Structure 1
């Protein structure tokens, strides 16, 4: 049986995904792509470092799942699904099963090895990308990086513009308005890794993720027809997308969709930004300015007098990582980074220009206004 391997490499952190199912490694290469320098490597070259081994095997899944349920175990929520966990104290091995997704896991934190076994290729591929990212996150955090809840774009000089705010504040709107109007490169949609550099600055690298883009923003960016054509030709957006959004896109319905007060959004693969929409991606930059937006549909873009500074809530700490708690022992520390690192980053970013702004639904007006304010 042929084994396929894809190596991820970002800011000195390296991890490799191995699988006999080429669809799994293809998914990994596509998901991390340029952002994390995902490259195919000979499987025999993988002899050191962190490894994620992914298998599509019903019998192996059944055996591991049965083992977990027959041993003392606990139950938690992981990636919005129930996860049963069993810990072997003597060896440190962690076994887990997600019955709803038919996925099983075996983690050896001390050896840097994680196995993912499932019954469906797409489910295994999705889980593999998520957990390979967690493996790399752990390496970066232990190497002095921290994780911010922010979007980021980078200009031709490597200056990174960071945008902060809670869900719905306008992080994605800000980032895409700047890339659409002023040829900036997209570095991240929702989270970024940051680390103090050797001088007084802050280095920034991406956190690869599917991007949630509201239907109204899809229309404002001029992307609606592109998405329809791609879907009609057989391509797909990220599988986490609600089927009601897919149906609306296919039917040409562009009004925002809501469910219990939450907007349902299109879920865009990282590689689709460039392939579908011509938005180039950036692999890193140096923090240059901070933007704190809020959206007001009928307003004109304007700068506010509100003073906004960074706080603990802007870092992806354990308290804000409830969807992906460190149940597999991959991080070994707080999910947002060491407190001393976060404090130093907050201090350095606090010295950069801050812009509290009101944005509208007009992408062109937003992009031109923001470009003047941040100097791009």
Structure 2
């Protein structure tokens, strides 16, 4: 097949990206859980999602990032590269919603390091319940007729700083600036099949992710993973009570107590939250991500493993929202591969709450 890419010179400021439609079926939600190992009940268990205050099972933040990424690379072609995305989750997109994903070019320019860049704004994910369920802005690098192909990897951006809240809660004062080692994403060697599973559930068929012959001829020299892709791996399921009978796995305490049904899920999710996020918030067992900024540097490849470092940046005083009462916590998660190369950073703000 012939895959076409846009040149930077052919992009016009103000032009609309071709919209994509995406039915958020329960099948696709379950497929995303299978592809990523993100076994959070709010994304596939309707009873639990409604207990947590949602109208139904809803899309995960990496799923939204993946769809915005697909919109941009479907438009720009496989020779482009996404540098960063800043995402705002405004409300939930739930099973059965037909998502319409759109965006617009705001600016084209040459960066300080010579890269040919475009800023994408008005990225929007809407559906019948919410015209703006998620919004975002992004920066992409495009190939140039005069400047050549995009860079295979890029240097880290200057570190973002977040001013601590003046009314910082007492429990959070000892957390600011503390660095915590986190689980790998993936901890085990990444496989081409795992990348393909991600492509299937998002219908993202960028040839760099699945076409071995095309990827081998590209500047990357082989397959890479989508920048927004998340891979916890099959072993992550043991954190939520699936697969714990494997020899050497720890049986969750809630299972040992004989809990079943929703009470079991409520107890298991407490451990899941502490596994996914850097620190827990007292009395707030639920979490919803409100904003996420992702910066991408070195792509993951089949065979790679990773490790993460997480650091809390800020925490709000007690707030009340339609979900419940709790705190907004901001932290940064940095992902490195086994060669000590920075893969990406996530700067996230999550609402930790109780209903």
TM-score, reference length from structure 1: 0.22
**Which structure has more helix as a fraction of its residues?**
1
TM-score, reference length from structure 2: 0.23
